A and B are shown apart, each in its own frame.
Chain A
Amino acid sequence: MLHIRCPHCGMRSQNEFAYGGDASVKRPELNKEISDLEWDNFVYLRKSLRGKHLELWQHISGCRQWFKVQRDTSTHEIFKTIKANEDI
């Protein structure tokens, strides 16, 4: 069982959360010329790191807020959780 500290509600068990994927994926800027390749890469390419991974989670059975979690993908250790608009 993972224990995740929601930045808004505090420590809760894994069951209350939903995963949202790699938080380092950046949508291409609007109002800019964007090639098809850039769009494809944004949609489909993933680094899928082994080790420290910054990811999005949603506290779906709680405050329903999205936030970021820094977690080790080989040990499941959670280092840090921050609000969605904050950076590590």
Chain B
Amino acid sequence: MQKYSIFNLIKNAFSNHQNWDLAWKDPTPKKEYDVVIIGGGGHGLATAYYLAKEHNITNVAIIEKGWIGGGNAGRNTTIIRSNYMYDDNALFSEFGMDLWRKMSQDLNYNVMFSPRGIINLAHSDAQINIFTRRGNSMRLNGIDAVLLSREEVKEIIPMADFSDNVRFPIFGGLMQPSAGTARHDAVVWGYARQADSMGVDIIQNCEVTGFDVSGGKINGVRTSRGDIKVKKIGLCVAGSTNILAEKLNMTIPVETHLLQACVSEPVKPVLDRVVTFGAGHFYISQSDKGEMVMGGDLDGYNSYAQRGNLPTLQHVLTEGIAMMPFLSKLKMLRTWGGIMDMSMDGSPIIDKTHIEGLYLNCGWCYGGFKATPASGWTFAHTIAQDRVHKLNAGYSLNRFNTGHLLDEKGLGTKTWIS
């Protein structure tokens, strides 16, 4: 594999950049692999990369129905954070933050990680109390958290509405300065390129049609491009988890829902942080191109459509305008939708299953992008060692039977209430 560097850039300039290697190959599936990862999104590619890098397992295939990074990895709002209160979520996410900081060097691919900080706005005394508690919990787990007063928030984001007669006045906020954003496509391509260079087969346009299970063990997977013999399968398909689970006669505590996001026309730099509205569900950042990247509530009903309806978008943008009135002057450039694997307590599942050789990675709700490296790292460990790592021990499948739920938001099983 060619290293991406200034010297190679200059060298290739002499041949008009015609002689660069392909970033990854387009192989035909082999008859047998040691591990097959189903789902070529960020999590699946990261899993394959860490299987090869950390566990020296390189006879691996990634099977993707469409193209890599075409699902939620290409549809998110690129926010990276670890501002969680519960230990399991906080330690897992903070481990991920460390991988994010090293990612561009590690992958030899500029993922444009920008630790610009995230501010959660508080709009009442009660919310300040809750944020104080969460901030203290974060600091106990070694995560940076700063409680901001109204004046301090005003200094950082003066464009928010600080006038007197607003419905939801800003009382202050909780900031995680080390949080930020990254370029989502670069994350996918960086992992794909490195995984491919270590011998992983990335097989696109290949749909899984069934599984070969006998005696409670995985023996293979049937695909639209032929049958593959394999002893270990990692299921990493986010919103499509229940479709594949049905082929395995399993029911997973996950519902598939629709989430929309949108970007405005590009404008000059105005917002250098990620900001979330505390009186509703709305988040915003500005991309390097100048577009305001925004998102919020789920559409609120089960859906596999990957496209949403206008009432939800209107509701979300109303919250945005309440928080930052200047947004009402902007034209909308694009809107899109993705399908979320909403778990029944709002936290993910990375675990073994009752079928030997079948490993499950799902339930990311709307927080999957930031978890990409940590999810891949722990899932690779779970698959390679056939046991969970202590970082993902809390993300067990049987917590819904034992009662060890991780209901960080306390929403219960009504995932559409966001």
Contact = CB atoms under 8 A, between A and B. Distances in A.
Give the bracket for the number of chain A residues in contact with chain B. Answer: 20 to 34
A48 interface: yes
A40 B416 CA distance: 20
Given A21-B416, A73-B303, A47 B311 contact: no
A74 B305 contact: yes
B304 interface: yes
Interface in B248-287: 251-256
Given A36-B401, A37-B401, A48 B302 contact: yes
Contact of B251 (A19, A36, A46): A46
Contacts of B255: 21-22, 46, 48
**Most chain B C-beta atoms within 10 Å of own C-beta, residue among A37, A44, A53:** A44
A1 interface: yes
A22 B401 CA distance: 20
Contacts of A74: 303-305
A15 B313 CA distance: 12
Contacts of A44: 253, 344, 400, 413
Contacts of A49: 242, 302
Contacts of B242: 46-50
B413 A1 contact: no
Contact of B401 (A19, A40, A48, A76): A40
A19 B304 contact: no
Interface residues of B, number: 24
A43 B311 contact: no
Contacts of A50: 242-243, 256, 304
Nearest to B256: A48
Contact of A19 (B253, B300, B400): B300
B225 interface: no
Contacts, number: 69
A75 interface: yes
Contact of A1 (B254, B304, B310): B310
A44 B246 CA distance: 16
Contacts of A63: none
B28 interface: no
Contacts of B414: 21
Contacts of B305: 73-76
Given A40-B401, A55-B302, A76-B303, A46 B311 contact: no
A9 interface: no
Given A1-B310, A36-B401, A48 B301 contact: no
Interface string A2-34: 100000000001110001011000000000000
A45 interface: yes
B224 interface: no
Interface string B384-418: 00000000000000001100000000000110100
Interface of A: 1-2, 13-15, 19, 21-22, 36-37, 40-41, 43-50, 53, 55, 71, 73-76
7 closest Cβ pairs, A-B complex = A48-B242, A44-B253, A44-B400, A74-B304, A45-B251, A50-B304, A44-B344
Given A46-B242, A47-B246, A74-B303, 10 more contacts: A19-B300, A40-B401, A43-B344, A44-B400, A46-B254, A48-B255, A55-B302, A73-B256, A76-B303, A76-B309
